[in-house]
């Protein structure tokens, strides 16, 4: 297996227009939003067998690295809109 696509992606709630504090903040992140959309298209064209996401926003274990292979992931947003967010994940290890 070889790596067919790799990227570093800026993130933040401002990438989701509804979570921006105001219209100005939404406009400031318009180019980032366009970049993330392009990245998703490019990733789809690369057609990888496996997608690995490395993030500091995961389980935090002191002095250890954690690899989560859960089929489901969910959490709660602290800012509006309130509600549970989730994603179905496919795990083949």
Residues 6+ apart with CB under 8 A from 25: 14
pTM here is 0.56
Mean pLDDT by 10 residues, the chain (93 residues): 86 82 89 91 91 70 70 61 52 52
């Amino acid at each position: 297996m070889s790596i067919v696509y790799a990227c570093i992606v800026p993130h933040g709630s401002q990438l989701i227009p509804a979570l921006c504090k105001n219209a100005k903040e939404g406009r400031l992140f318009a180019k980032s939003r366009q970049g993330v959309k392009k990245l998703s298209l490019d990733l789809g064209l690369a057609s990888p067998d496996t997608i690995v996401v490395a993030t500091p926003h995961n389980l935090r274990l002191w002095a250890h690295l954690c690899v989560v292979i859960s089929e489901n992931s969910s959490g709660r947003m602290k800012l509006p809109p309130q509600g549970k967010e989730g994603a179905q994940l496919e795990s083949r290890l």
